[in-house]
Amino acid sequence: MMHLTPHNGQSVTSLMDDILSVRDNLSKDENIKQAPTVIPGELSSAFALLDPDLAILHKDMKTAAAQLDIARKTGNMADIALWRFESAESAYQTRLMEVRKNKLASQSASTAMSEGEIEAKKQMHAQSMQERMNEQFANMRKKNMEEKRRKEEKDGGFFFYLMLGMRLAQMNNKKRAQELDMSTIQSAFFNARTA
């Protein structure tokens, strides 16, 4: 095992050299098993549509996994490819948790909103029913008043025409009586002249 020197202003390059040599020794050590490259599966279209950022991070993670696989096969910069894959996977997993958390929060909010909407709809339905009933009662009252007015007009009209008929009959009788009186006077005058 190699001893690393403490960090001070003069030995920065020697510390970096030590770190690189430790890394190289670890990567060449046969006892240390490398984890197989995990190539992520396809992102469901529901999640991709739900969050475009998640889709981008998933694509980046797949690209990093493919680069890690190639780097392990060729032996070139496998550590950097592993670091990039782990970073991409971490970003993807973090965003996935955020999306799920937001989805649960939105579901609970929509559930709460749904309960509120249901209550509001019930109130609106009750108000609507009350308004319809009030409107029906108002229409019935208006219809009854209209019928009553028509009946009064009809009764009043009948009474008017009855009175008019009686007045016309009275005027006709008066005219007849006058004509009869006139006829009587004329007969008397004619009789008086001829007599």
pLDDT digits (tens, 9 = 90+) for 94-109: 888 888 787 776 666 5
Q: Which two tokens mark 24?
A: 């190289």
- Do 21 and 7 meet the contact criterion of CB atoms below 8 Å apart? no
Q: Which two tokens mark 101?
A: 């958390």
The CA distance from 121 to 109, in Å, is 17
Q: Given pLDDT bands bounded at 50, 70 and 90, which one contains residue 76?
A: confident
Give the pLDDT mean for 124-152.
Answer: 85
Q: Output 169 or 110, whichever has higher pLDDT.
A: 169
The CA distance from 4 to 173, in Å, is 146
**Does the pLDDT of residue 62 top 80, yes or no?**
yes
The CA distance from 95 to 56, in Å, is 11
The CA distance from 131 to 83, in Å, is 69
The CA distance from 124 to 42, in Å, is 46
pTM more than 0.85 = no
Give the pLDDT mean for 51-56.
Answer: 82
The CA distance from 19 to 7, in Å, is 12
For residue 2, give the nearest of 14, 12, 10, 51 by alpha carbon: 14
Phi, psi dihedral angles at 88 (to 5 degrees) = -65, -40
Q: Where are the domains of the chain?
A: 34-166
How many beta carbons lie within 10 A of that of residue 178, not counting itself?
Answer: 10
